[in-house]
Structure formats: structure tokens, C-alpha cells
Amino acid sequence: MILPIVQAGDPVLRERARPLSLDEIRSPEIQRLIEDMKETMRAAPGVGLAAPQVGLGLQLAVIEDAPEYHANATAQELEERKRDVVPFHVIINPTITLLPGPTIEFFEGCLSVDGWIALVARAPGVRVDALDERGQDVRIEVHGWHARILQHEIDHLHGTLCVDRMDPRTLSSHGNYSKFWRGRSTGEVRAGLHAPGKAR
């Protein structure tokens, strides 16, 4: 079932989500929720969806960067973003460690801030310890776009939106991003929007 995605302004997006017990994770209700979230994410379409985005304050997110999502990106864009196919996976009760290195800025959007996109600085890599959909321990250590997705979704579980981390001068509608900024370097975007560079 496709679930409604709540939008910025809904209090559930600003609350810290609660952890799930092993019994809850293995329950028919949570297993059904995971399937519904997968279907909702794919229908949107998006590369990640956290439970607060469907109105539930639970430490649960689904992630997938499918090959078809890369179809409209150039080889240069995929390389710059270090973006590879990410198979579907589930993270529950995650803890995140940001790996060292200078932050990297790219345009980032959110299904709960529908229609808008902005430059967001993220750590280049992460290590995430979590439970999967069976309640088994998993450790994910990745760099590039997958790391960005994980940071974005785990932020949702702490009541943080990408607009809290964005450079507000770079906020753009999706239409204007495609018209003016797609394919431009961060420096060109900043010059065009008269946005000062962020300290690294």
C-alpha cells in the first residue's frame, strides 16, 4: 500500500523517533510497514524513506538507489557524486559515525520538502551500525552518494530535515534547478546566486 508522505510543518518530522524492540521488528505490523514504505519510496520515486515521513515516530528507514534512477544523470554527474546502484535495504535503530574528510556539497532534495532542492554539505563517508528487517546486526561503511542518503535518512530519525543543513541562498525549485543549475559546478552555482562559500 502506498502511504501518504507528510510534509514539512508536521510535528512528527521534528520529533526524535523511538527505537524498535526485536519483537516489534519481527511483528507482522512492522514487516507490513516495511513493505508499504518500500512501495511508497519507489512510487514517489525516492532513494530513501524514513518512518517519520509516513507519520510514524519509529527508528526505521528504507533505502534503495535503483539503476533506473541513474538514467537521467550523465556519467560525469554519477562520477562526481560517487553514485552507484544501492540495493534495497532496511536500517532500524541506527547509530552513525561520520568518517573523516572535508565535507562535500551537492544539491539535495527531500520527499517531505516536496518540490525544493538546495546545496547541502555532508561528510564524505559514514559507518552505520543498525538492525536489518530481521533484527540482525548490520554494519554499513560507505562513501559517496550512499553515505549521503544514510545521513539524510538518519537525520529524519532525529527530527532534522535537510533544510536545517542547507545553504539557504541555494534553495531552488526543481524546475529552476533543471533550468539554471543542473550540470553546473558548486562554484558556478554560488557565483550565480551570490552565495558565499562555506568554510571547510
Return the pLDDT at 24.
Answer: 98
Q: Which letter, b or e, does each residue of 83-122 get, where b requires 16 or more Cβ atoms within 10 Å of its Cβ? A: beebeeebbbbbebeeeeeeebbbbbbbbbbeebbbbbbb
pLDDT confidence of residue 200: 40
CA distance 191 to 134: 48
Give dist(CA 161, CA 200) in Å, integer. 21
Give the pLDDT score at 155: 98
pLDDT at 199: 44
Q: For residue 133, which of 45, 44, 63, 67 has the smallest C-alpha distance?
A: 63
C-alpha cell at 63: 533505502
So what's the pLDDT on residue 198? 56
pTM given for the model: 0.94
Return d(Cα 50, Cα 43) in angstroms, integer: 15
Return the active site residues: 153
Q: Is 44 exposed, middle or buried (0-12, 13-18, 19+ CB in 10 A)?
A: middle
* Tens place of pLDDT per residue across the chain (200 aa): 999 999 999 999 999 999 999 999 999 999 999 999 999 999 999 999 999 999 999 999 999 999 998 988 888 889 988 999 999 999 999 999 999 999 999 999 999 999 999 999 999 999 999 999 999 999 999 999 999 999 999 999 999 999 999 999 999 999 999 999 988 888 899 888 887 765 44
11-102+122-161: what CATH class? Answer: alpha beta
Q: What is the pLDDT of residue 77?
A: 85
